[in-house]
Amino acid sequence: MKKNIKLKLLYLTMTILVMACDDFLEKNPLTQLDSDTFWKTEQDVQAALTATYSTHRTSIFGSVRGSNGVAMDIEALSDNAITSSNFVNYVGMMQGGINPSSTGALNQTWSDCYDGIAKCNYFLDNIDGAKSLLTEANYNKYKGEALFNRCYYYNELVQRYGAVPLILYTQTIDSVNLVKTRPRSPKADVVARLLQDIDVAIAVLPADRYTDGHAVKGSAIMLKVRILMNNQRFAEAADVAWSLIGDAANPYSLYRNYSGLFFKEQRAADNKEIMFSVIYQAPADYHQLDQYVGSRMSCFPTPQLRDAYETNIDTGLKDPRLGMTIFQLGDQWVNNTKTGTFQQDGSVAESTLPFTNMAFKKWIDPTVRTPGSSTLSDQNIVKMRYADLLLLYAEAMFESGQGTDTRALKALNDVRTRPGVNMPLKTELTRDNIRNERRVELAYEGIRYNDIIRWGIAETVIPQIIHSTKGDKRKFDGYLWPIPQSQIDIMQGVWENNEPWN
């Protein structure tokens, strides 16, 4: 059955060619599959649903076989990491001086999101016609998943670009021409629609624990909390987060092994922390994370991230998450055949040690020496986990004036005292300790950049980061990215770009 679904998916993808390049407004009509050859079986429905997840598997949002780099590299745009790779041009964006014609992530994020949105629209436009093929439960589940994915992609778009076209239907020649005559939808309008749709998803998705790559109710609750937090709707975010955290039937909990969340134990039966991830399975489906991060060390930590980890006042030792996240000089390291430690003398790694004398350990297979393109890395890329929800709840409570509530402090301390970490309890919530806890708990998970953007501190922290051996400092270009020039050209004066590129 899985083989048939994969064949259907391949046919679907090759036939509709949805949003495959940057000029998303100039696509062919997406009605070719409305024929006797598709939407005739539940397998057809499942294949179309699988296509809605494909954007999570790109080099921007997950990882791709044969394409160096991973989604977490967006942290090189924050104060947590530095990149030396031209992968999707994060190195250029990190250094500063982007413009609407910049290549890489600035264009690909836009095109990837609208690719995913188009596939979601195609699915949602057609599933009602196939409703008779499905049980009521499956109909609701499939529709909820497509709505979750569409909301996920739109949330990414508005965080990066602000006002964007709100397209909720399959495009035809007429609808493409209509879009070309209207302005970008204000961010508030897009967010209002996202909250409407995610509520539907929450209502119909199964309450089971996330296990298999398909969004569930908990995934949708987490996404709604993120949307609300991104828009400073703190009291609402706290209520939504508590609807899961405080539920007696809550299927999620913090996992017993922090490092296992990112390598080897992601599929453990008792791992109840992961709420959504991009799933890979070698040998058919893999990526090159161990080579890119573990041997090339193309993305590596900043001293500021290292220094954010506290010393345990009870033991005098550093927060254990530091050693599970970062390689430092002298640490045990399989890529050194002379000393077995993290240092240049004796290293057989593909690249020399970064100038910060640190590399990321999180996500890495610690047993693979000098991984290459033939090494089958298949770590799942974790996109949502319960620790993040607990910390967002603590933040939402604090920012909405409820920081003295014992539930909020408990949420923060539950993360600090998780098994294997056991940092001392905080006695009160402050903005600084909430933000620092998020930084060290979620380091190199692709979250820090969005955090410093939504907190409005990026303009302060980014220019302090040195990104080269010459001591060059970063430049912060603004809280929104420019709309890609290819889109501005298509709109022929209808759209005005974001400041200062307008």
Q: Do the beta carbons of residue 92 and residue 410 sit within 8 Å?
A: no
Both tokens assigned to 274: 């992961």
Q: What is the pLDDT of residue 452?
A: 98
Q: What is the pLDDT of residue 178?
A: 63
Q: Is the peptide bond before 283 cis (omega within 30 degrees of 0)?
A: yes
Chain-centroid distance of CA 490 in Å reads 29
Are 201 and 222 members of one domain?
A: no
Q: Are strands 299-301 and 81-83 parallel, antiparallel or unpaired?
A: antiparallel
| pTM of the full structure | 0.94
Question: Would residue 230 count as lying in a domain?
Answer: yes
Query: What ranges make up the beta strands (E) of 115-194?
Result: none
Is the domain of 80 the same as that of 161?
yes
Residue 217 in contact with residue 207, Cβ under 8 Å? yes
Which residues, 6 or more positions from 439, have their beta carbon under 8 angstroms from its beta carbon? 80, 305, 308, 448, 451
The answer as to whether 441 is a domain residue is no
Work out how many domains the chain is built from and give that number.
3
**Residue 389: per-residue pLDDT:** 99
Residue 444 lies in a domain: no
b/e code 430-444 from CB counts within 10 Å (16+ = b): eeebbbebbbbbbbb
Same domain? 91 vs 165: yes
Number of helices (H), then strands (E), belonging to the chain: the values are 18, 6
Say how many Å lie between the first and final Cα of the chain, rounded.
51
**Environment class of residue 179 by beta-carbon count within 10 Å: exposed (0-12), middle (13-18) or buried (19+)?**
middle
* Same structural domain, 50 and 191: yes
Tens of pLDDT, residues 417-469:
999 999 999 999 999 999 999 999 999 999 999 999 999 999 999 999 999 99
- Which residues does 275 contact at the CB level (< 8 Å), separation at least 6? 210, 218, 219, 222, 252, 384, 385, 386, 389
Torsion sign over Cα 409, 412, 418, 420: negative
CA–CA dist 55, 149 (Å, integer): 9
Residues 160-178 as b or e (16 or more Cβ within 10 Å = b): bbbbbbbbeebbeeeebee
Q: 405 in the Ramachandran plot: left (φ > 0), alpha (ψ -120 to 50) or beta? A: beta
If asked whether residues 245 and 272 sit together in one domain, one would say yes
pLDDT of residue 206: 98
Q: Are residues 201 and 230 in the same domain?
A: no
Whether residues 65 and 8 fall in one domain: yes
Helix segments in 276-385, DSSP class H: 289, 303-308, 320-325
- Which residues in the chain show pLDDT less than 50? 1-32
Residue 371 pLDDT: 83
Domain around 421: 206-284+378-429
Structural domain includes residue 445: no
Q: Check whether residue 247 and residue 139 sit in a common domain.
A: no
